[in-house]
Structure 1
Amino acid sequence: MQWIGALLFIGTTTLIGFDISRKLNERPKQIRHMKNALQILEAEILYSQLPLQDVFATIAMQIPEPISSFFNQLDISLSQNNRDLYHVWTTHLDELMASSAFDANEGEILKQFGRTLGQHDFDQQQKHIHLTIKHLDRELDDARDNQYKYSKMAKSLGLLCGLFIVLLLI
């Protein structure tokens, strides 16, 4: 019975290590997807001049999860009620932060962008989009560095921590 518990404990810590590694690997992908979404947003605002609600629906169809569900929820919320865009943006951004591998830095960058969204003319909005993309580029470099440095280590540490604790207890 003791060995079954030890194996379960080692398996659990190993799964925790693999989960941390998965998040480290997903973060750069999701940052790239958000950058792509912002580039689509820029193109739709400048060239097709669609309302933001329609732009959000277009982005949701072109970008993979979990970013697409974020823009889809923005579209739905704006169509159901005419609340403040920033309030809707922050509400759904908090949900995105909980369901994605984004770090707090990306959340703050996107919250700041949400404050400016729909508040300026086309040129100013384009500048804010470019600024946000630049900030996300910086975070993407950081995410890649963390992925390279810590992904394999998280997997190994999950297993090794489980083994160490089991050996201490036996």
Structure 2
Amino acid sequence: MVKLIGAVLILFAGTMIGFQQASRFAARPRQIRQLIHALQRLETEIGYGYTPLPEAMSNTAIHLPEPIKSMFHEVCRLLAQDNELSFRECWEQAVVKHWPSTAMKSAERSALIRLGTSLGISDRDDQIKHLKLAETQLGAEEEAARDEQARYEKMSRSLGVLVAALVVILIV
């Protein structure tokens, strides 16, 4: 009886690990798409609304889903403090702090950090150009993430179940 319960628990744990990994493959392209939409909204706020950058970040953060929302709110919070941090430093700190809660990889992170170095230090048109460049880079990463999802999502689910079944067979 104890072996049966142990086997069921091992099968359940392996299956859940496989499904969790598959959900990360599915979440990455979705989060990249959300990030692209956030940058497009920020571009609209800066370009057409003539909104100052801190206010544009705040207005954009309101309409975003998690975990992107937390990242943008963190930038706003750091900008609102009475410290001497530049926008680049606030942006980088927020990205580093909230990155572990995303399913995105280092390529998206480096594109965001590069964007943060150019926002807030130039005129409106230059900021829009940098936002468009980041959107293009993230769009390419989204395509790669969709390819990875198609290739590895189903395999991760199956592999979790099969490895758990192998462990059960070896134990019994």
TM-score bracket relative to the smaller structure: over 0.9
TM-score when scaled to structure 1?
0.94
Structure 1 residues not aligned, in runs of 5+: none
2:122 counterpart SS class = coil
- Rounded to whole Å, the distance in 1 between the matches of 2:52 and 2:159 is 49
- Whole-Å Cα distance in 2 between the matches of residues 96 and 146 of structure 1? 23
Q: What CA distance in whole angstroms lies between the structure 2 residues aligned with 1:142 and 1:54?
A: 33
SS state at 2:138 partner: helix
* Deviation readout 1:61-106 (Å, 9 max, x if unpaired): 1111111121112111211234122221111102221001111111
Matched residues, percent identical? 36
- The residue that corresponds to 1:51 in the other structure is 52
- Deviation per residue, 1:104-128 (Å, 9 max, x gap): 1111111111111112112221111
The list of structure 1 runs, each at least 4 consecutive aligned residues, that deviate by more than 4 angstroms after superposition, is none
Would you say 1:92 and 2:104 are equivalent positions? Answer: no
Count of residue pairs brought into register by the alignment: 170
| 41-50 vs 129-138, greater mean Cα deviation | 41-50
Q: What is residue 31 of structure 2 aligned with on the other side?
A: 30
Q: CA deviation at 1:156?
A: 0.8
Give the distance between the partners of 2:82 and 2:20, measured in 1 at CA. Answer: 38
Aligned partner of 1:66 in structure 2 is 67
**Alignment of structure 1 residues 1-170 onto 2, 5 Å:** 1-82=2-83, 83-170=85-172
Aligned residues: CA RMSD: 1.2
Deviation, 1:145, is 0.6
SS at match of 2:66: coil
Given residue 109 of structure 2, which amino acid in structure 1 is its aligned partner? Answer: G
One-letter code of the match for 2:70?
S
Deviation at 1:56, TM superposition (A): 1.2
Unaligned runs of 5+ in 2: none
Q: TM-score, normalised by structure 2?
A: 0.93
Tell which deviates more after alignment, 63-72 or 79-88: 79-88
